[in-house]
Amino acid sequence: MVQKYQSPVRVYKHPFELIMAAYERRFPTCPLIPMFVDSDTVSEFKSEDGALHVIERRCKLDIDAPRLLKKIAGVDYVYFVQKNSLNSRDRTLHIEAHNETFSNRVIIHEHCCYTVHPENEDWTCFEQSASLDIKSFFGFESTVEKIAMKHYTSNIKKGKEIIEYYLRQLEEEGITFVPRWTPPPVGPSETCSSSKNQVTPAAVLVPDTAAVMEGLSGENLSSPGAASEPVVGTPDDKLDADYIKRYLGDLTPLQESCLIRLRQWLQETHKGKIPKDEHILRFLRARDFNIDKAREIMCQSLTWRKQHQVDYILDTWTPPQVLLDYYAGGWHHHDKDGRPLYVLRLGQMDTKGLVRALGEEALLRYVLSINEEGLRRCEENTKVFGRPISSWTCLVDLEGLNMRHLWRPGVKALLRIIEVVEANYPETLGRLLILRAPRVFPVLWTLVSPFIDDNTRRKFLIYAGNDYQGPGGLLDYIDKEIIPDFLSGECMCDVPEGGLVPKSLYRTAEELENEDLKLWTETIYQSASVFKGAPHEILIQIVDASSVITWDFDVCKGDIVFNIYHSKRSPQPPKKDSLGAHSITSPGGNNVQLIDKVWQLGRDYSMVESPLICKEGESVQGSHVTRWPGFYILQWKFHTMPACAATNLPRVDDVLASLQVSSHKCKVMYYTEVIGSEDFRGSMTSLESSHSGFSQLSAATTSSSQSQSSSMISSE
């Protein structure tokens, strides 16, 4: 398996030329990097004006590996070839490196890039990507990979420290400025002035030597990193290392790489509309930074958010008065770590009465609004406290908990809420303090704990009786000044006291069922399953020509082909099978087939647009201007990638292909509408498809739930 790495943008707050001068001191050897033994120049080229300088070196590394492994391999040192291309005119340095030793068994590529900061020409940016592919290594493939990972993680941040060391050394010697490259004088009269610019060639030589080390200071051999591709483009769509530390926290190099690679995948497939970085990071943490697993659950969650319009819940949904009066929970200041603090007096809450009066759907929606508010508060506290805060603390008071709280429908509602929250708000609970747990609590815990993720369970602290007042209790996590008054604290708490819900507010089972249906069918989207050999099709009848069929659909799972057909006669009534997987948050997807097997393309129906291939995770919006009245069939069909393309995939497609499942099942979520052409404000080009993100959980948030096509792709 190919290991990849992609670094964030690391910023040196010094001019490009001075950074290069610091690098010059690291060659041919660097005592600060013991594994870098020596380097020899293989070839060198300089342009006449001194602006371009290309140098290739052979670098000798002493890898810290078991003696037995070195003996079996028959080598004491590992050699790398590195090519540095300096453009002093553009103030850039590109470094390409690959391993020479065992190149038929182990393939290592690395690319580094030094550029001028786009917003401050006196600062320098550094980026790095690398890949490691171990084909075979005498049966020690796993060992070699672990050694590479170890060297990589230990040395990846060492480059910046070494540069800063040599910068201080230069400053001690009185060198704080290196002139930029200037074109050589044209006339002989300017010869004297050219002698004043002799520092320029030095600046030219500096980067080459210097860059080798940042790119090769042990990071080459151990590069389980990103593909060796040039890192180009404007840094406004990239992550800065200082930004990561300030807003996302201390991450290891490999964790940074996972975040950046998943973020790049989202940018490329969602056309810029991606979730916020802290949201992506939560899903990565929930799956121990396994990119494939994190991507899968995140895409499912983003689809769920869009389907149920969760992004707008705080602005568009008002909780019923019953909840405001009897739901004994609310936000209350913050804990000692700056996390927002949510207080829930579960023992004082009439869960049975709330379920009977509102139904579990209303309770679920209220809990979702609480979680959405928690996300907002985390962002606010991150700004207030000047450090990353991505989760909140929940204090649950169980005084008053009894067998009434174990009422079966109430427990069922609780389990469903836990499942939905676990799936869509991972790593948002920083700590759960359970106070005054009564004897009946173990029964409730036995019912609930199997539905709680292992990582989440580790954050639970349970106190019986008044144990929370002793050592290791509440004061270790919450300041004395904000401990609620009902826990013998000094702070008045505005959380409702709960109490029994009047039976006059109860609703009948029929009323609750209708209300539940209404709550979660307030989405305009429908779900469908697509199988290999069984496409999903919908029928649209057009009376007036020049009408416009519009669509908005998300590919939730697998790759599909989207087609539009026209027929003068109506298909037979469809055979409808409920084939979708069971879901607690949405109805199972349907599979409907309209085109009869005896129909022939070109005789009974015709294709009015070219097929559109849509990849998993994409959201597609588009339109078709109808030319004739009749019956139009929109079809989502399973897409099988040709075998010949498997060996030459682009990087993004390669990532998508790795997610293909053997069940030959796809899922789509779609919405269609027919409007008159005079009312359609979009472009009139047929089959325009705009690919965008699933959710408004992004910095580029749309203000409307209606589809907006900003970059159209025509398939004609």
Domains annotated for the chain, with CATH where assigned, are 2-173 (3.30.530.20), 241-308 (1.10.8.20), 311-504 (3.40.525.10), 523-571+591-640+663-691 (2.60.120.680)
Q: What are phi and psi of 347, to 5 degrees?
A: -65, -25
3-state secondary structure of 409: helix
**542-601 pLDDT, tens digit each:** 988 888 898 888 888 889 999 999 999 888 776 544 443 333 333 446 889 999 888 989
For residues 586 and 690, is the Cβ–Cβ distance under 8 A? Answer: no
Give me 44's structure tokens.
Answer: 């060198």
Question: Could you tell me which of 94, 99, 126 has the C-alpha nearest to residue 111?
Answer: 94
Q: Which of 138-147, 338-347, 658-667 has the lowest mean pLDDT?
A: 658-667
The pLDDT of 400-408, averaged and rounded, is 82
The pLDDT of 97-107, averaged and rounded, is 88
Say which amino acid occupies 284: L
| Count of alpha carbons within 13 angstroms of residue 620, beta-carbon side | 29
Report how far residue 127's alpha carbon sits from residue 148's, in angstroms, rounded to the nearest whole number: 20
The pLDDT assigned to 359 comes to 86
Report how far residue 360's alpha carbon sits from residue 513's, in angstroms, rounded to the nearest whole number: 10
The pLDDT assigned to 273 comes to 66
pLDDT band at 268 (very low <50, low <70, confident <90, very high): confident
Indicate yes or no: pTM above 0.75. no
Beta bridge partners of 711: none
The pLDDT assigned to 384 comes to 94
Report how far residue 117's alpha carbon sits from residue 125's, in angstroms, rounded to the nearest whole number: 6
Q: What are phi and psi of 548, to 5 degrees?
A: -120, 120
Higher pLDDT: 212 or 115? It is 115
Report how far residue 396's alpha carbon sits from residue 377's, in angstroms, rounded to the nearest whole number: 19
For residues 96 and 82, is the Cβ–Cβ distance under 8 A? Answer: yes
Report how far residue 353's alpha carbon sits from residue 148's, in angstroms, rounded to the nearest whole number: 60
Helix segments in 57-157, DSSP class H? 67-73, 141-155
Report how far residue 526's alpha carbon sits from residue 10's, in angstroms, rounded to the nearest whole number: 45
The pLDDT of 512-538, averaged and rounded, is 74
The pLDDT assigned to 615 comes to 86
The pLDDT assigned to 537 comes to 93
Report how far residue 598's alpha carbon sits from residue 531's, in angstroms, rounded to the nearest whole number: 20
pLDDT at 155 over 90: no
Which single residue is written with the structure tokens 């319009």? Answer: 309
**437-469 pLDDT, tens digit each:** 988 888 888 888 888 888 888 899 999 888 898
Q: What is the dihedral of CA 552, 556, 557, 562, to 10 degrees?
A: 0
Higher pLDDT: 680 or 364? It is 364
The pLDDT of 292-299, averaged and rounded, is 91
The pLDDT of 468-483, averaged and rounded, is 91
DSSP letter (8 states) at residue 204:
H
pLDDT at 697 over 60: no
pLDDT band at 520 (very low <50, low <70, confident <90, very high): low
The pLDDT of 467-479, averaged and rounded, is 91
- Per residue, what are the HEC states of 275-288? ECHHHHHHHHHHCC
The pLDDT assigned to 104 comes to 85
The pLDDT assigned to 650 comes to 43
The pLDDT assigned to 440 comes to 83
Q: Where are the beta strands (DSSP E) in 279-391?
A: 329-334, 340-344
pLDDT above 70 covers a percentage of the chain that reads: 78
Report how far residue 192's alpha carbon sits from residue 49's, in angstroms, rounded to the nearest whole number: 16
User: Which are the contacts of 569, defined by CB distance < 8 A and separation ≥ 6?
Assistant: 604, 631
DSSP line for 395-458: EEE-TT--GGGG-HHHHHHHHHHHHHHHHHSTT-EEEEEEEEE-TTHHHHHHHHGGGS-HHHHT
Total number of residues shown for the chain: 716
User: Which are the contacts of 497, defined by CB distance < 8 A and separation ≥ 6?
Assistant: 328, 345, 348
**8-57 pLDDT, tens digit each:** 888 889 999 999 988 878 778 888 888 888 889 999 999 999 899 999 99
The pLDDT assigned to 643 comes to 52
Question: Could you tell me which of 345, 431, 344 has the C-alpha nearest to residue 393?
Answer: 431
Higher pLDDT: 154 or 480? It is 480
pLDDT at 703 over 60: no
The pLDDT assigned to 321 comes to 93
Q: How far is CA 678 from CA 159, 350, 418, 681, in A?
A: 62, 55, 48, 8
Please provide the distance, in angstroms rounded to a whole number, between the alpha carbons at the two ends of the chain: 39
Beta bridge partners of 433: 395, 461
pLDDT above 90 covers a percentage of the chain that reads: 35
The pLDDT of 407-422, averaged and rounded, is 86
Give me 710's structure tokens.
Answer: 């900003």
Average pLDDT, the chain: 79
Residue 421: count other Cβ atoms within 10 Å of its Cβ. Answer: 19
pLDDT at 287 over 60: yes
Helix segments in 65-120, DSSP class H? 67-73
Structural element, H or E, at residue 567: strand 560-567
Highest-scoring range by mean pLDDT, 272-286, 365-379, 540-554: 365-379
Residue 627: count other Cβ atoms within 10 Å of its Cβ. Answer: 13
For residues 401 and 346, is the Cβ–Cβ distance under 8 A? Answer: yes
The pLDDT assigned to 680 comes to 55
The pLDDT of 131-144, averaged and rounded, is 82
Say which amino acid occupies 504: S
Give me 353's structure tokens.
Answer: 């009465």
Structural element, H or E, at residue 110: strand 106-117
Using CB atoms within 10 Å of the CB of residue 329, give its burial: 0 to 12 exposed, 13 to 18 middle, 19+ buried: buried
Question: Could you tell me which of 353, 305, 293 has the C-alpha nearest to residue 327?
Answer: 353
Q: Which of 140-144, 161-165, 689-693 has the lowest mean pLDDT?
A: 689-693
Report how far residue 338's alpha carbon sits from residue 430's, in angstroms, rounded to the nearest whole number: 11
For residues 214 and 112, is the Cβ–Cβ distance under 8 A? Answer: yes
Question: Could you tell me which of 574, 570, 604 has the C-alpha nearest to residue 591?
Answer: 574
pLDDT at 294 over 60: yes
Q: How far is CA 391 from CA 70, 363, 373, 396, 430, in A?
A: 47, 22, 12, 16, 5
Q: What is the dihedral of CA 258, 261, 262, 263, to 10 degrees?
A: 120
Q: What is the DSSP pairing of strand 429-437 with strand 460-464? A: parallel
Question: Could you tell me which of 716, 606, 622 has the C-alpha nearest to residue 673?
Answer: 622
Question: Could you tell me which of 19, 177, 202 has the C-alpha nearest to residue 113?
Answer: 19
